Amino acid sequence: MAEAQIQQDEAVSLGVETRSRRQDFLRAFFSNRLAIFGTAIMGVFILMAVFAPYVAPYSPLQQHLPQKFAGPSFAHPFGQDELGRDILSRVIYGARISLTAGLAAVALATTVGTIVGLAAGYLGRWPDSMLMRLMDVLLAFPSILLAIVIVSILGPSLANAMLAVGIVFIPQIARVVRSAVISVRERDYIEAERALGAGDAQIVLSGILPNSMAPLIVQATLTLATAILDVAALSFLGLGARAPTPEWGAMLTDAFRSGFGVFLQGQHAIIFPGVAIALAVLSVNFIGDGLRDALDPRRRG
Amino acid sequence: MSIVVFFMVRAIPGDPAQILLGQNATEARVQALTAKMGLDKPVPIQYLLFLKDAVRGDLGDSIVTGRPVTMELLIRLPATFELTAFAMLVAVLVGVPVGVISAVRQYSLLDKVTSVLALTGISMPIFWLAMILVVIFGVNLELLPFPGRLGANTAITSITGIVLVDSLLTLNFAGFWDGLLHLIMPAIALGTIPMAVVMRMTRSSMLEVMNEDYVRTARAKGVVPWRVVFKHALRNAMLPTVTVIGLQVGLLMGGAIITETIFSWPGIGLYAYQSVSGRDYASIQGVVLYGALLFVLVNLLVDILYAVLDPRVRL
Q: Is A281 on the interface with B (CB under 8 A)?
A: yes
Question: B69 to chain A, minimum CA–CA distance in Å?
Answer: 16
Q: Is A159 on the interface with B (CB under 8 A)?
A: no
Mean pLDDT of B216-239: 78
Mean pLDDT of A38-57: 86
Point out the residue among A134, A141, A289 whose CB comes nearest to the CB of B292: A141
What residue in A sits closest to B137 (Cα-Cα)?
A263
Point out the residue among A34, A141, A285 whose CB comes nearest to the CB of B288: A141
Mutate to test the interface with A, among B6, B19, B80, B123 (most CBs of A within 10 A): B123
Pairwise CB contact (< 8 Å): B276 & A148: yes
What residue in A sits closest to B20 (Cα-Cα)?
A149
Is B229 in contact with B100 (CB distance < 8 Å)? yes
Find the radius of gyration of the CA atoms of chain B. 22
What residue in A sits closest to B125 (Cα-Cα)?
A229
What residue in B sits closest to A252 (Cα-Cα)?
B128
A22-57+70-299 has CATH 1.10.3720.10 classification: yes
The residues, ordered by sequence, that sit 6+ positions from B302 with a Cβ below 8 Å of its Cβ are: B242, B243, B245, B246
**B160 against B9, higher pLDDT:** B160
Mean pLDDT of A35-61: 84
What residue in B sits closest to A251 (Cα-Cα)?
B128
Amino acid A2: pLDDT: 47
Amino acid A260: pLDDT: 54
Domain ranges of chain A: 22-57+70-299
Dihedral in degrees, nearest 10, Cα atoms A139, B289, B270, B190: 40
Pairwise CB contact (< 8 Å): B131 & A134: no
Q: pLDDT by residue (tens digit) across A99-108? A: 899 999 999 9
Listed residue (B110, B105, B88, B14) closest to B252, CA to CA: B88
The residues, ordered by sequence, that sit 6+ positions from B50 with a Cβ below 8 Å of its Cβ are: none
Going by pLDDT thresholds of 50, 70 and 90, the confidence category of residue A296 is low
Going by pLDDT thresholds of 50, 70 and 90, the confidence category of residue B187 is very high
Question: A15 to chain B, minimum CA–CA distance in Å?
Answer: 32
What residue in B sits closest to A232 (Cα-Cα)?
B125
pLDDT more than 90, % of chain A: 9
Amino acid at B255: G
Pairwise CB contact (< 8 Å): B131 & A252: yes
Mutate to test the interface with B, among A42, A69, A126, A137 (most CBs of B within 10 A): A137
- Which SS3 state, helix, strand or coil, does residue A74 take? coil
Highest mean pLDDT: which range of A225-229, B57-61, B290-294: A225-229
- Bridge partners, residue B61, by sequence: B68
Is B198 in contact with B142 (CB distance < 8 Å)? no
Alpha carbon of B225 to those of A121, A167, B229, B232: distances in Å?
45, 48, 6, 10
Is A208 in contact with A187 (CB distance < 8 Å)? no
Pairwise CB contact (< 8 Å): B47 & A134: yes
Question: A274 to chain B, minimum CA–CA distance in Å?
Answer: 6
Contacts of B262 in chain A (CB under 8 A): 256
Q: How many CB atoms lie within 10 A of CB A165?
A: 32
Point out the residue among B119, B125, B295 whose CB comes nearest to the CB of A141: B295
Dihedral in degrees, nearest 10, Cα atoms B257, B259, B262, B264: -80
ipTM for the assembly: 0.80
- Which SS3 state, helix, strand or coil, does residue A86 take? strand
pLDDT at B212 over 60: yes
**Mutual orientation of helices B235-263 and A213-236 as an angle, nearest 10°?**
30
- Give A15's Cβ-side CA count (13 Å radius): 0
Looking at every residue in chain B, the average pLDDT score rounds to: 74
Rounded Cα distance between B134 and B147, Å, is 9
Q: Which of residues 233-252 of A touch B (CB under 8 A)?
A: 233, 236-239, 249, 252
Alpha carbon of B48 to those of A86, B16, B22, B44: distances in Å?
48, 6, 11, 6
The residues, ordered by sequence, that sit 6+ positions from A230 with a Cβ below 8 Å of its Cβ are: A105, A143, A144, A147, A165, A168
Mutate to test the interface with A, among B127, B273, B277, B298 (most CBs of A within 10 A): B127
Pairwise CB contact (< 8 Å): A238 & B277: yes
Which is it for the CA torsion A83, A86, A89, A94, positive or negative?
A: positive
Contacts of B8 in chain A (CB under 8 A): 132-133, 136
Pairwise CB contact (< 8 Å): A270 & B292: no
- Bridge partners, residue A80, by sequence: A86
Question: B109 to chain A, minimum CA–CA distance in Å?
Answer: 15
Rounded Cα distance between B194 and A233, Å, is 17
pLDDT at B148 over 80: no
Amino acid at B223: V
Amino acid B62: pLDDT: 65
Contacts of A163 in chain B (CB under 8 A): none
What residue in A sits closest to B15 (Cα-Cα)?
A137
Pairwise CB contact (< 8 Å): A281 & B12: no
Contacts of A256 in chain B (CB under 8 A): 131, 262
Is A251 in contact with A60 (CB distance < 8 Å)? no
Question: A7 to chain B, minimum CA–CA distance in Å?
Answer: 27
For each of the domains in chain B, give its residue range(s) and CATH number, in order of start: 2-54 (no CATH), 69-309 (1.10.3720.10)
Listed residue (B235, B176, B240) closest to B210, CA to CA: B235
Find the radius of gyration of the CA atoms of chain A. 23
Number of A/B CB contacts below 8 angstroms equals: 142
Going by pLDDT thresholds of 50, 70 and 90, the confidence category of residue B23 is very low
Rounded Cα distance between A81 and A61, Å, is 11
Q: Is A265 on the interface with B (CB under 8 A)?
A: no
Which of these ranges, A226-230, B159-163, B195-199, B279-283, has the smallest mean pLDDT?
A: B279-283
pLDDT more than 90, % of chain B: 5
Rounded Cα distance between B139 and B9, Å, is 45
Mutate to test the interface with A, among B128, B132, B206, B268 (most CBs of A within 10 A): B128
What residue in A sits closest to B57 (Cα-Cα)?
A153
Is A137 in contact with B47 (CB distance < 8 Å)? yes
Amino acid at B137: F
Rounded Cα distance between A140 and B292, Å, is 7
Determine whether A38 is exposed, middle or buried from the number of CB atoms within 10 Å of its CB (0-12, 13-18, 19+). buried
Amino acid A263: pLDDT: 58
The residues, ordered by sequence, that sit 6+ positions from B107 with a Cβ below 8 Å of its Cβ are: none
Rounded Cα distance between B312 and B106, Å, is 29
Rounded Cα distance between A78 and A287, Å, is 27
- Which SS3 state, helix, strand or coil, does residue A240 take? coil
Contacts of B119 in chain A (CB under 8 A): 282, 285-286, 289
My answer on whether omega of the bond before A297 falls inside 30° of 0, hence cis, is no
Q: How many CB atoms lie within 10 A of CB B162?
A: 21
The residues, ordered by sequence, that sit 6+ positions from B11 with a Cβ below 8 Å of its Cβ are: B39, B43
Point out the residue among B132, B277, B291 whose CB comes nearest to the CB of A142: B291
Pairwise CB contact (< 8 Å): B123 & A148: no
Would you report the helix, strand and coil content of chain A in percent, each value rounded to 5?
Answer: 75, 0, 25
